[in-house]
Amino acid sequence: MINGVFALLLGAFSEPVRVTVKGFVGESAVFPCSIPDSEIQGKIEKFNVHWRDNEDKLVCDIIASNRTCTDQDPKYKFRVETFPDEYKKGNFSIKLSSLQKTDARKYICHITGPSQNHTITELHVEDKPEGRGNHRQPSLIVLLISFLLTCILPFI
């Protein structure tokens, strides 16, 4: 009994976990939120998960292991993936896709139930690095020149 009250107080006053996640425009990012595997066994229906953004807009809810994102803010429609196979391991992370610069903000997760979690993820969105493949061209030219210098030049 004392323990229960103590746990409740700790849950209410403990500092949130703070995480920074980086994503690229047009790609996706995973925001973590979980409770230990051992805490959820056989009690999955007792946990509710609330995902909100920093303006308190609804990103997604997972109520008793059912995704219920019905009053979701329109800007998150069709963009939020949850992972039902992971729920039973206590993992209620979500994935936001089609990232835009305007998505860069904080996302807040609250897990309530026999054990709690409060995690704040700060998302940074950057432009995709320009032409990942293009870096190969200069080095190819450098290789060619060094080949010419070392193999051809001695014979001239």
Ligand X SMILES: *[C@@H]1O[C@H](CO)[C@@H](O)[C@H](O)[C@H]1NC(C)=O
Contacts to ligand X by CB under 6 A: 17, 30, 32-36, 63-64, 66, 83, 86, 91, 93, 117, 119
CB of 45 to ligand X, least distance (A): 7
CB of 54 to ligand X, least distance (A): 17
Indicate the pairing of strand 66-67 with strand 117-126.
Answer: unpaired
CB of 134 to ligand X, least distance (A): 30
Contact, 26 vs 99, CB < 8 A? yes
Which residue carries 């979690």 as its tokens? 117
CA distance 19 to 111: 16
Residue closer to ligand X by CB (options 10, 149) is 10
Residue closer to ligand X by CB (options 17, 69) is 17
Residue closer to ligand X by CB (options 91, 112) is 91
Q: What does the H/E/C string look like for 116-137?
A: CEEEEEEEEEECCCCCHHHHHH
Contact, 59 vs 107, CB < 8 A? yes
CB of 110 to ligand X, least distance (A): 10
CB of 132 to ligand X, least distance (A): 22
Radius of gyration of the chain from its Cα atoms, rounded to whole angstroms: 24
Residue closer to ligand X by CB (options 66, 137) is 66
Residue closer to ligand X by CB (options 21, 104) is 21
Neighbours of 87 (CB within 10 A): 20
